[in-house]
Structure 1
Amino acid sequence: MATGTLIENITLAVIYTVLGGVLGVLLMALSAFIVPRIVDLMTPRINDEKEIAKGNLAVATYVGQITQAVILGISIIIAAAIISGIF
């Protein structure tokens, strides 16, 4: 069992949760910005922005799914970190 008073434990849990939430928001914004550029570097012969502008749904879906997968993975990691900070 954790040492300290109940108020101290609740305060620390709230602090960990808020910090984890802020870190999560920053990582989501960063990954939503960086991941499409990484995909663009991995597919040098395909200009994603031009293909999406032309209405190529396959490219738009591909880039969107990769970005969503990375954001979901980071969300799971941040959630685990927040939960471990509470307990």
Structure 2
Amino acid sequence: MSSGIGYRGTNRCFPLWEDFQQCYFSSKEKTRADCVPAREDYLECLHHFKEIARVRTIKAVERDNYNKSKANGTDHKIISLSDNGSS
């Protein structure tokens, strides 16, 4: 990683990178196991793996609830935030 400063200013994940880098170089252990949380925070900031997995889980439960309510004859709507409430 370079300086973390681009043409739009500081990268949003750069502070997390600095925390990880500081932990990594100050660690006395060879495995640097104490830096795993800082590394995970940095990678989550970059790629949003945990956030995407959580959204997929919520959507799956919502679809399941919709299908169950349809089978029972009750009214359950799936709300889409991207449609500005027009669904």
Shorter-chain TM-score bucket reads: 0.3 to 0.5
Task: Give the TM-score, by structure 2 length.
Answer: 0.35
Q: Which one scores higher on RCO, CA 8 angstroms, separation ≥ 6?
A: 1
Task: Give the TM-score, by structure 1 length.
Answer: 0.35
Structure 1 or 2: more strand by fraction: 2
